[in-house]
A and B are shown apart, each in its own frame.
Chain A
């Protein structure tokens, strides 16, 4: 699986959009980009995933660059409950390898 690089932490104001970057410059053509988050010792929660096209669901939007070497997860209106560790995972199979994610703190 391709290696991913995420900033270790970021703050976000409540009600504002949170943009979480992820670099995956060694991604191969059949690898998907997945985003999960983990809220304090709870089970990781699936957010969204994509291959080439941008994706949107009720939780977030995923923007993948045309060369697929990086992506951005967008939480459109962050709430205090979005405070969590966010993981960007690149994989072509069913095995998720969690690396060092981004600790997002949403502040009132």
Chain B
């Protein structure tokens, strides 16, 4: 069965650079969520989209932005990267809200 696809799987950036993470949800899923997981920490909710509209916002820094496109894929844009942004970034998708979410394998971002 098709799963959530994230790209790239690994990314190394320097401080103050920008990064774009992509997420391709399971076909027919209309809701996408982004999570950040720092080393030794639990996943933290960043932002979510339902039917291409932002539906909820968590602890997402102002330097980050995201959107969901007409084909339901989503991109997380991160600017002015800091060392503390080094983390695993997970995307999840679900069919409408209030249903189980399926997670991708994540993008490991390292800021040096």
Contacts and interface: CB of A to CB of B under 8 A. Distances in A.
Interface of A: 32, 34, 38, 41-46, 49, 87, 92-101
Contacts, number: 59
Given A34-B100, A43-B103, 9 more contacts: A41-B106, A42-B106, A43-B90, A43-B104, A44-B103, A46-B103, A94-B48, A94-B94, A95-B45
Contact of B45 (A43, A96, A101): A96
Contacts of B97: 93-94
A96 B32 CA distance: 12
B7 to A, nearest CB: 14
B90 A44 contact: yes
Interface residues of B, number: 27
Contacts of B33: 94-96
B62 interface: no
A95 B92 contact: no
Nearest to B91: A43
Interface in B14-40: 31, 33, 35
B103 A94 contact: no
B33 to A, nearest CB: 7
Contacts of A93: 56, 97-98
A94 B31 contact: yes
Contact of A46 (B31, B35, B100): B100
A42 B105 CA distance: 6
Interface string B75-112: 00000000000001010101001111111111000000
B34 to A, nearest CB: 11
Contacts of A32: 98
A41 B10 CA distance: 13
Which has the most chain B C-beta neighbours within 10 Å: A38, A99, A100? A38
Contacts of A46: 100-103
